[in-house]
Amino acid sequence: GIQVEQSPPDLILQEGANSTLRCNFSDSVNNLQWFHQNPWGQLINLFYIPSGTKQNGRLSATTVATERYSLLYISSSQTTDSGVYFCAVKRSGGSNYKLTFGKGTLLTVNP
């Protein structure tokens, strides 16, 4: 099946710092989503971004499908940004409709 690798596995920031999270995937995809799992376990959908660039407030994401990677940018980080960030993809074609998740990046933002 498709492989999804996220880096870094852990990241510690001071409030106000910027960060870039990376997601590499091993096959062509027609769905890529970034999620934030908060300390209560909720999975919050950040971006649906199989290609191109999107921005939402302090967060933005870019997917270069031809090179099989996606980046999530967090600017002016806040303590509420803490949690695990997951990248999830769905391989193009075939009959497999599941999302495959990476292992996540654990982000800790200190005040």
Partner 1 sequence: DSGVTQTPKHLITATGQRVTLRCSPRSGDLSVYWYQQSLDQGLQFLIQYYNGEERAKGNILERFSAQQFPDLHSELNLSSLELGDSALYFCASSVGGQGGYGYTFGSGTRLTVV
Residues binding partner 1 (CB under 8 A): 30-31, 33, 35, 41-45, 48, 86, 88, 90, 95-101, 103-104
Closer to partner 1 by Cβ: residue 35 or 81: 35
Is the CB of 31 or the CB of 60 nearer to partner 1?
A: 31
Residue 12 contacts residue 111 (beta carbons within 8 Å): no
Cβ closer to partner 1: 37 or 60?
A: 37
Q: Closest distance between partner 1 and the C-beta of residue 45, in Å?
A: 6
- Alpha-carbon gap, residue 76 to 64, rounded angstroms: 24
Whether the bond between 111 and the residue before it is cis, its omega within 30 degrees of 0, is: no
Q: Which is nearer to partner 1, 66 or 95 (CB)?
A: 95
Interatomic CA distance for residues 85 and 36, integer angstroms: 5
Minimum CB distance to partner 1, residue 89 (Å): 10
Phi, psi angles (nearest 5°) of residue 66 = -65, -30
Shortest reach from residue 18's CB to partner 1, in Å: 26
- Residue 5 CA to chain centroid, in angstroms? 10
